[in-house]
Amino acid sequence: AQERYGSVRDLPAVTKDGKRVDLLMNAGLMADLPSLESSGAEGVGLFRTELQFLVRNKMPKRSELVVLYKRVLDAGNGKRVVFRTLDIGSDKVLPYMKPTDEPNPALGWRAIRVGLDKPGIMRMQLQALIRAADGRPLTVMFPFVAQFEEYRAARAEVEKTLELERKLGHALPEVLDVGAMLETPSLAFAPQKFFEEVGFLSIGGNDLKQFFFAADRENERVRKRYDTLNVSFLSLIERIVERCNSTNTPLSFCGEDAGRPIEAVCLAAIGIRTLSMRPASIGPVKSLLLRVDLGALRKIIADARHRGDQSVRPAVMDYLRDL
């Protein structure tokens, strides 16, 4: 696939009506790093740090993490790399952590909830990131933030860790960008102040969709009932775009749908201008973006909604067939 899309690899994704969309890649393992070069990704929009923890049989040491994160930043060579702090729990259980035996793990003690309740692990990870950056710019993102206070508490943890590292004589990052994933519907309705304070937001569409439709992302039977291009879901995303625009909060989308060309062009049409996806999706998504007019797509989406269509997909497909 990479060969097939070689001709667009070094082109920016600019639509027919001149709108630029930044395409980044999702990663998590060292094996993903060469794709930064080969895919033409403009950076890593989501580095799932838990994957390094999941492939081991014991908790990695801080010094090991420093080495790993350094390699990631070196491979990034100045491109943006968004490190998501540990997103464990739910479907991602560490073999060396005591199982929690929860009736609904997806709604349970996971991600930032674990991070805030057990700040030792989060602190260790933040220290490793700061040391790996060694003065370079650093971007950190917290997963599964459901309310403003969780972001504030996580942010305070970052400040505490910076102070600790400074005292220990480590170089602090030249720029530190701290953001959150928006993957619970509640965060879309957070106070305006949250949108002003957060460094950036990235929509985790996999979880956001699961919680919006109350449909388990792991359960094929129910998952497939609900289209990402469902008008109600798109309305939620548009609302997030509007709120971010009103506070100049950088917004991206890093769920699997970002890597599906039809979904990707619709997300761009409703105002998402940064998409992060698996590396192999960058070519196909870019090829379609180069051919569409976002203004036309926006009108098609608005008309479909006006008619009361359940999903905008059929109308969008008609448009794409005529291209």
Residue window 208-237: x/- pattern of binding to Mg ion, with contact defined by CB under 5 A: ------------------------------
Is 257 among the residues that bind Mg ion (CB under 5 A)?
Answer: no
Question: 254 is in the binding site of which of Mg ion, ligand PEP, none (Cβ under 5 to 8 A by kind)?
Answer: ligand PEP
Question: 43 is in the binding site of which of Mg ion, ligand PEP, none (Cβ under 5 to 8 A by kind)?
Answer: none
Question: 32 is in the binding site of which of ligand PEP, Mg ion, none (Cβ under 5 to 8 A by kind)?
Answer: none
Q: What's the DSSP call for residue 61?
A: P
Distance from chain centroid for Cα 7? 27
Is 87 among the residues that bind ligand PEP (CB under 6 A)?
Answer: yes
Quick one: which of 42, 157, 165, 183 contacts ligand PEP (CB under 6 A)? 183
Backbone φ/ψ region at 219: left (φ over 0), alpha (ψ -120 to 50), beta: beta
Backbone angles phi, psi at 182, to 5 degrees: -105, 100
Quick one: which of 50, 165, 207, 257 contacts Mg ion (CB under 5 A)? 207
CB of 153 to ligand PEP, least distance (A): 21
DSSP string, 251-315: EEE-SGGGGSHHHHHHHHHTT--EEEE-GGGHHHHHHHHTT--HHHHHHHHHHHHHHT-SBSHHH
Question: 241 is in the binding site of which of Mg ion, ligand PEP, none (Cβ under 5 to 8 A by kind)?
Answer: none
Residue window 93-122: x/- pattern of binding to ligand PEP, with contact defined by CB under 6 A: ------------------------------
Quick one: which of 2, 38, 147, 206 contacts ligand PEP (CB under 6 A)? 206
Tell me if 209 sits within 8 A of 238, measured CB to CB. no
Is 259 among the residues that bind ligand PEP (CB under 6 A)?
Answer: no
Is 89 among the residues that bind Mg ion (CB under 5 A)?
Answer: no
Instruction: Burial-class residue 198 by CB neighbours within 10 Å (0-12, 13-18, 19+).
Output: buried
Quick one: which of 207, 212, 243, 269 contacts ligand PEP (CB under 6 A)? 207
Tell me if 213 sits within 8 A of 175, measured CB to CB. no
Is 115 among the residues that bind Mg ion (CB under 5 A)?
Answer: no
Q: Which of residues 27-46 bind ligand PEP (CB under 6 A)?
A: 46
Q: Which residue has the tokens 């459901």?
A: 146
Residue (88 or 190) nearer to ligand PEP, CB: 88
Helix (H) or strand (E) holding 203: strand 201-203
Q: Torsion angle of alpha carbons 113, 49, 61, 163, nearest 10°?
A: -70
Binding site for ligand PEP (CB under 6 A): 46, 48, 87, 183, 204-207, 254-255
